[in-house]
Amino acid sequence: MAKKALMVVSFGSSYEAAMAAIENIEETCKNAFPDYDFFRAWTSGVIARKLKKTKGIDVLNPREVLDKLVEEGYEEVLCQPTYIIGGIEVDKLTVILEEYRDRIPVIRTGKPLLTDEEDYETVCRAVMGELPHPLGEKEALVLMGHGSEHHANNTYFMFEDMMRDMGYERTFVGTVEGFPRLDYIIRRLKRNRIEDVILMPLLIVAGIHVREDLAGEEEDSWKSVIDREGFRSSVIMEGLGEIDAIAAHFAEHLRNAEQI
């Protein structure tokens, strides 16, 4: 019987609490493909080295996993990246996978979370389902994405537009790195006479960007800035990967994986 591998590729996280998001996606994908041997890969060497130093845990990068699979004679690799947008990290992973086409007969990969129109609809519903209550007339949801210099940064604009098309008018999407920035979001909140703001990460894990950039006590965190601007704020400390509907959608992308 041909040996088949499932490789779930994440950026990684050194925060133990944030690992729940990655593990939820991994377990969901494993359960969806029980006939495949599971392998974890992280793309951040910095995080992997930190985890090795502080906890003695080894996490391989994609090339290391693929080398192992070649050595052990695997004939099929099913790969799912846990990225939201098809940006720089996905481009890098695609290049790596292409390097192994002559050594592994079948390599198929699933798409990032937000790729097709139905992806946006599914994720919008999943995000709104995490709110503690429906948004009031003077209440808004502000989502914080990572942001990118890659053209896939347009994903954030489309996500907000889809939210509005689905009837969620008081939802705003900003990014840590790139546009739209927080100052742009704040101007729009004021124009809409918003008084209360729910902050939520549009990120797979609730790692450093959530704990410091979004909800940290530093004066330049999103919560601190929004509070200083006169809004009342609260934070949902949850990565998207912790939401079962999101994990299930990654597994669905695996079912539709395409040959490299």
Residue 81 confidence (pLDDT) above 80: yes
Residue 70: its pLDDT value, please? 98
Cis upstream peptide for 34 (omega within 30°)? no
Check: CATH 3.40.50.1400 for 4-114+242-259?
yes
Tokens of residue 225, six digits? 């800035």
Residue 86: its pLDDT value, please? 96
Residue 57 confidence (pLDDT) above 80: no
Domains 4-114+242-259 and 132-237 share a fold: yes
Is there a catalytic annotation at residue 146?
A: yes
Strands (E), 43-113: 76-81, 106-109
42, 59 Cβ separation under 8 angstroms: yes
pTM: 0.94
Choice among 146, 209, 249, 253 that is catalytic = 146
Residue 118: its pLDDT value, please? 97
Cβ-count burial 13-36 (b if 16+ within 10 Å, e if not): bbbeebbbbbbbbbebbeebbeeb
Residue 67: its pLDDT value, please? 98
CATH code for the part of the protein at 132-237: 3.40.50.1400
Could you read off the pLDDT of 177-206 as tens digits, one per residue? 989 999 999 999 999 999 999 999 999 999
Residue 229: its pLDDT value, please? 98
Max CA separation in the chain (angstroms): 64
Count the residues in the chain.
260
**Taking the domains of the chain in order of start, what are their residue ranges?**
4-114+242-259, 132-237
